[in-house]
Amino acid sequence: MELYDAIYNRRITRDFQDKTVPEEVLERIINAGLQAPTHDHLRNWEFVILQDKKDKEAALQFIKKGVEPQLEILKQILVEGTAQQKMYAIAMPRQYSMLMNSSHIILPFFKSNSGVMNPTSVSSLNPLSSIWCVIENIFLAATAEGLACSMRIPVGEEGLNVAKVVGAPQDYLLPCYIGLGYPAEGSPRVEQVEYNAKQKMHFGKW
Ligand SMILES: Cc1cc2nc3c(=O)[nH]c(=O)nc-3n(C[C@H](O)[C@H](O)[C@H](O)COP(=O)(O)O)c2cc1C
């Protein structure tokens, strides 16, 4: 697939087919992630991959509780809401299933330092910025393979708890969970606010 096709076809997907991604494809996707730019030249990134149901359940146990009470409110929003509200209404009830039902959960860890959690400037966040370059490469490579990804940002203590469960060292942080798999047909398409470059470019001065 051409790069521009992958960029334009990439979509966060929250419903997957019950089909396993072959390991060599998974490896190609992780290798694409490893080509991302890195702030310190060290590529201090590690990937915990979960395929076994029990391993997935252990890592996802911190998600389930937070979502269930919101479901009734979200149904209403699906009918009446703005594009952003509708996105939440589709996404929230799927936070657990979109990872549990993926072929593989990828947990991308980055080596942190004291600046990341107490930033004094944008550059303090470089380790976090770098891992997001990795994550986008993974999304695009998955798209190029005919696959798709779900993604959730851990809230509150969730990331630290997941890191503990999978045995990550204390100085490695989890920016998000990624679910990788074959997208289900007919999964709801999330309405987007569309822009083109002309609306966003400011030549010379904002
Ligand atoms: C920083 C960031 C955080 C996000 N957090 C979540 C999340 O916690 N759960 C989720 O289902 N989707 C999450 N998303 C995915 C967005 O909902 C999605 O990217 C957006 O609706 C645009 O859709 P698209 O990616 O298909 O173009 C996040 C995306 C970004 C970039």
pLDDT tens-digit series, residues 120-141: 999 999 999 999 999 999 999 9
- pLDDT tens for 46-102 read 999 999 999 999 999 999 755 555 666 777 777 777 888 888 888 888 999 999 999
Calculate helix-pair angle for 126-144, 23-33, nearest 10 degrees.
140
CATH classification at residue 72: 3.40.109.10
Please state whether the predicted TM-score (pTM) of the whole model is above 0.75.
yes
Q: Return the higher-pLDDT residue of 48 and 186.
A: 48
Q: Which residues line ligand 1 (CB under 6 A)?
A: 11-12, 87, 91, 151-153, 190
pLDDT at 118: 94
In a domain, 206, yes or no: no
Q: What average pLDDT does the chain have? A: 92
Q: Is the dihedral of CA 124, 156, 85, 135 positive or negative?
A: positive
Top mutation candidate among 12, 105, 138 for ligand 1, by most atoms within 8 Å of CB: 12
Atom of ligand 1 nearest to the CA of 139: 25
| Residue 205 is assigned to a structural domain of this protein | no
Q: From CA 38, how far away is CA 35, in angstroms rounded?
A: 9
Q: Please, how many CA atoms are within 13 Å of residue 103, restricted to the half-sphere of its CB?
A: 19
Which structural domain, as residue segments, surrounds residue 170?
3-200
Annotate 48-65 with DSSP letters as a single string.
EEE-SHHHHHHHHTTTHH
The domain tally of the chain equals 1
Give the pLDDT of residue 1: 72
- CA distance linking residue 147 with residue 80, whole number of Å: 31
How many angstroms separate the alpha carbon of residue 35 from the centre of ligand 1? 22
Which residue reads 């470089």 in tokens?
126
Q: Which atom of ligand 1 is nearest to the CA of 94?
A: 11
